[in-house]
């Protein structure tokens, strides 16, 4: 495989975007997050396995290895999203958000009407401090957040920036960014403000 970026033992992500240059930029950004290896469709041989694919067109799905979870990054609306698509994001989403979505998709999360099925926990390698299956909040919530994600969300609702959240929770800025991205994915939110609004409507935070 010629165009692999990242750690050999990381989450293996196929980036299959119509814009080759945009795909290369995304691959580089994802590899920089750590724990991720990216490759292109040209680098996949018959029988190869990838953990998750990032695509921007439904037509691309036919060329993917069978059973591959998919993160769709596109600004198109109104099309029927196949069941293989686990998460849909805007085409201009931050690479950190796309990376978090890929981790969640690979772990078994599926987005449905703006909320994720959190029956499967985050992959162990996703990030130090990420929750395991046993750490998940009970199923009474419309969206299940890990205890750490709930703490981060509460501080977001207070208007705390990442540096303050990191200091209050005694975690790194990178860990905060990962948890924020995971929260956005699980809530189906476009940004932090949107996440707080959705969380308030669902009773996940009180402001």
Same fold, 1-107 and 128-207: no
Query: pLDDT for 124-141, tens place per residue?
Result: 333 333 333 333 333 334
Quick check: 4 pLDDT over 80?
Answer: no
Query: pLDDT for 89-116, tens place per residue?
Result: 888 888 888 888 888 888 887 764 444 4
Mean pLDDT of 120-126: 35
How far from chain centre, in Å, is Cα 152? 16
Rounded Cα distance between 16 and 38, Å, is 10
Q: Which fold has domain 1-107?
A: Rossmann fold (3.40.50)
Please state, as a whole number, how many other Cβ atoms lie within 10 Å of the Cβ of residue 65: 13
The dihedral region occupied by 113, where left means phi > 0, alpha psi between -120 and 50, and beta the remainder, is left
Mean pLDDT of 75-88: 75
Helix (H) or strand (E) holding 152: helix 147-157
Rounded Cα distance between 170 and 188, Å, is 27
What pLDDT is recorded for position 24?
92
Q: Where are the domains of the chain?
A: 1-107, 128-207
Q: Which fold has domain 128-207?
A: Arc Repressor Mutant, subunit A (1.10.10)
Query: pLDDT for 160-193, tens place per residue?
Result: 899 999 999 999 988 898 899 889 888 888 788 8
What pLDDT is recorded for position 140?
36
Rounded Cα distance between 150 and 42, Å, is 40
pTM given for the model: 0.66
What pLDDT is recorded for position 82?
76
Rounded Cα distance between 132 and 88, Å, is 24
E strand segments, the chain? 5-6, 11-16, 36-39, 52-55, 70-73, 85-89, 110-112, 115-117
Query: pLDDT for 56-77, tens place per residue?
Result: 988 888 888 778 899 998 877 6
């Amino acid at each position: 495989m010629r165009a692999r970026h990242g750690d050999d033992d990381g989450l293996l992500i196929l980036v299959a975007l119509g814009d080759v240059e945009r795909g290369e930029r995304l691959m580089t950004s994802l590899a920089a997050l750590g724990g991720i290896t990216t490759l292109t469709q040209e680098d996949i041989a018959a029988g190869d396995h990838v953990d998750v694919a990032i695509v921007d067109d439904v037509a691309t799905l036919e060329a993917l290895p069978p059973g591959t979870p998919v993160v769709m990054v596109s600004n198109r609306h109104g099309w029927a999203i196949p069941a293989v698509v686990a998460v849909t994001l805007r085409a201009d989403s931050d690479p950190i958000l796309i990376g978090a979505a890929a981790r969640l998709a690979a772990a078994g999360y599926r987005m449905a009407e703006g909320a994720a099925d959190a029956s499967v926990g985050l992959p162990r390698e996703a990030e130090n401090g990420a929750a395991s299956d046993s750490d998940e909040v009970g199923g009474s919530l419309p969206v299940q957040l890990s205890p750490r994600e709930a703490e981060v969300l509460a501080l977001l609702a207070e208007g705390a920036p990442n540096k303050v959240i990191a200091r209050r929770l005694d975690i790194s800025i990178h860990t905060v960014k990962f948890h924020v991205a995971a929260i956005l994915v699980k809530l189906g939110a476009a940004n932090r403000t949107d996440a707080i609004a959705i969380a308030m409507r669902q009773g996940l935070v009180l402001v």
